[in-house]
């Protein structure tokens, strides 16, 4: 049996046919990847994670493939889902493999779309790609500019979609050193031997080992999702192919649903939302004015009770008053330097509690509220001059205050 060190790099069938979804390969060795058992075959159509592109998934020898990686020697490791107590297929076995076609098709469109968008960003904005990532849910391109003009990015997006519509040929090949030297590569190769090139007509020529479409129309469309500054680089988020189409259908469905809810056409939804936003702003302003008026009225009534109190104290429970309303009322009452106010707002979820004093009172509000919370099964705290908390809905606030004041 050959050792891994003596083996030749795995033959990669997707190099010549990215649409190959079924193949057979012979097990050359059992190995391991990150502690998980792996199989090394003489040849494979499974793409290993590399170059920012995710690995293929599928079935090999009747077992689910959960990861595919490649080592420095060019050996492709297939990590399988193994039942407990079950081992890998034996060395020498001929295994049938089947690629997850839908996943591969998504990756082909995303990777080809990334090449095209990177080319267009150079042509339109002189922005050169320094890294890219094709993720499960988000794809990004980082460029060598610290900021990108969104109008130029939109122009680059339009340029790519025009090339897609032209349905130009895409060629993946291994040029001779002489041929390679003559090619107008967008970026330098990351390897020195067996350099594979992906040529998208006369539009873009780049070294790449990934799986790509064979014609530009197979990309379907490319869609820029956002432009931002990330770690001193300009970043473009994008989608393409089946993924972009699925996202658009989902968004269109959401828009149609909003149209039905607002009893308008999908195109009228932004206008309706803007109208609702204005109405909400007006309603909030009116509610704020009403609350201020109610706070004034309530403060006036409680001020009379405060005047009649020898201790300059007032205790009140206000139905429906939230913390904001309690603060507004307390601010008016504690304008009297000697005042101490004990307020609670009753709501189904419990009592919002506020205790405050005027500038001339020595009363310790925070310490008192802590005792009140302990006695009533609530929580809260604050400073000597102001404290807030909450009590259970069934708490008898006036009785609790009276018992602690003695």
Write out pLDDT tens, residues 150-184: 999 999 999 999 999 999 999 999 999 999 999 99
pLDDT at 2: 62
Domain identity same for 27 and 52: yes
pLDDT, residue 3, reads: 73
Query: Which of 74, 99, 124 is the C-terminal boundary of a domain?
Result: 99
User: What is the torsion angle, in degrees rounded to the nearest 10, for the CA atoms of residue 127, residue 128, residue 133 and residue 138?
Assistant: 10
Residue 331 and residue 358 in contact, taking contact as beta carbons nearer than 8 Å: no
Please tell me the distance from the alpha carbon of residue 346 to that of residue 168, in angstroms, as a whole number: 70
For residues 246 and 118, state if they share a domain: yes
Residue 48: closest CA among 105, 104, 132, 4: 104
* Rounded (to 5) percent helix, strand, coil in the chain: 40, 30, 30
Q: Where are the alpha helices (DSSP H) in 133-240?
A: 150-165, 177-182
Tell me what pLDDT residue 226 has: 96
User: 237-262: b or e for each residue (b if 16 or more CB lie within 10 Å)?
Assistant: bbbbbbbbeeeeeeeeeeeeebbeeb
The whole-number average pLDDT for the span 115-142 is 96
Tell me: do 65 and 172 sit in the same domain.
Answer: no
Q: Looking at residue 50, which CATH number applies to its domain?
A: 2.40.30.130
Q: Two tokens at 149?
A: 């003009």
In a domain, 374, yes or no: yes
pLDDT tens by residue, 355-364: 999 999 999 9
| Kind of pairing between the strands at 11-12 and 43-44 | parallel
Same domain, 111 and 241: yes
> Containing domain of residue 241, as a range?
104-251
271 inside domain: no
Assigned token pair, 259: 């149209």
Please tell me the distance from the alpha carbon of residue 147 to that of residue 229, in angstroms, as a whole number. 6
Q: Which two tokens stand for residue 335?
A: 């304008």
Separation in Å, CA 22 to CA 45, 59, 96, 171, 303: 8, 10, 7, 22, 85
- Overall average pLDDT of the 263-292 stretch: 91
Q: Are residues 11 and 77 in the same domain?
A: yes
pLDDT score of 1 more than 80: no
Instruction: Give yes or no: residues 352 and 225 share one domain.
Output: no
In 3D space, the residue among 62, 7, 53, 54 whose CA is nearest the CA of residue 29 turns out to be 7
- pLDDT band, very low/low/confident/very high, at 207 (cuts 50, 70, 90): very high
Strand partners for 27:
41
Lowest mean pLDDT among 47-56, 82-91, 125-134, 338-347: 82-91
Asked if residue 283 is part of any domain, the answer here is: no
Same structural domain for residues 395 and 318?
yes
What pTM does this model have?
0.74
């Amino acid at each position: 049996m050959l050792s891994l060190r003596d083996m030749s790099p795995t033959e990669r069938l997707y190099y010549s046919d990215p649409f190959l979804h079924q193949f057979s390969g012979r097990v050359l060795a059992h190995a391991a990847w990150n502690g998980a058992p792996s199989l090394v075959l003489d040849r494979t159509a499974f793409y290993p994670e590399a170059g920012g592109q995710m690995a293929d998934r599928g079935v090999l020898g009747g077992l689910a493939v959960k990861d595919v990686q490649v080592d420095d020697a060019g050996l492709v490791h297939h990590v399988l889902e193994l039942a407990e107590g079950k081992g890998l297929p034996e060395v020498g076995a001929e295994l049938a493999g089947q690629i997850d076609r839908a996943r591969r098709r998504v990756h082909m469109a995303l990777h080809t779309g990334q090449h095209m968008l990177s080319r267009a960003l150079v042509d339109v904005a002189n922005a050169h790609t320094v890294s890219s990532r094709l993720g499960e849910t988000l794809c990004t391109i980082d460029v060598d500019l610290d900021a990108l003009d969104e109008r130029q990015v939109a122009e680059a997006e339009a340029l790519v979609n025009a090339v897609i519509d032209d349905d130009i040929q895409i060629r993946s090949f291994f040029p001779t050193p002489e041929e390679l030297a003559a090619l107008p590569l967008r970026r330098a190769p990351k390897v020195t031997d067996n350099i594979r090139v992906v040529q998208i007509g006369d539009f873009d020529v780049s070294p790449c080992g990934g799986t790509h479409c064979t014609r530009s129309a197979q990309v379907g469309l490319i869609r820029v999702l956002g432009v931002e500054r990330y770690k001193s680089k300009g970043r473009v988020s994008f989608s393409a192919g089946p993924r972009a189409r699925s996202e658009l259908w989902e968004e269109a469905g959401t828009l149609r649903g909003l149209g039905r809810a607002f009893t308008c056409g999908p195109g009228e939804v932004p206008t309706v939302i803007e109208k609702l936003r204005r109405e909400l702003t007006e309603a909030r302003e009116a509610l704020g004015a009403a609350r201020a008026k109610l706070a004034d009225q309530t403060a006036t009534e409680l001020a009379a009770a405060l005047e009649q109190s020898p201790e300059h104290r007032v205790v009140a429970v206000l139905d429906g008053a939230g913390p904001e309303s309690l603060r507004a009322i307390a601010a008016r009452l504690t304008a009297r330097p000697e005042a101490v106010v004990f307020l609670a707002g009753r709501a189904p979820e419990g009592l919002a509690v506020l205790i405050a004093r005027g500038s001339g009172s020595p009363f310790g509000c925070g310490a008192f509220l802590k005792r009140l919370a302990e006695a009533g099964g609530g929580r809260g705290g604050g400073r000597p001059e102001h404290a807030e908390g909450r009590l259970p809905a069934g708490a008898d606030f006036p009785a609790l205050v009276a018992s602690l004041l003695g």
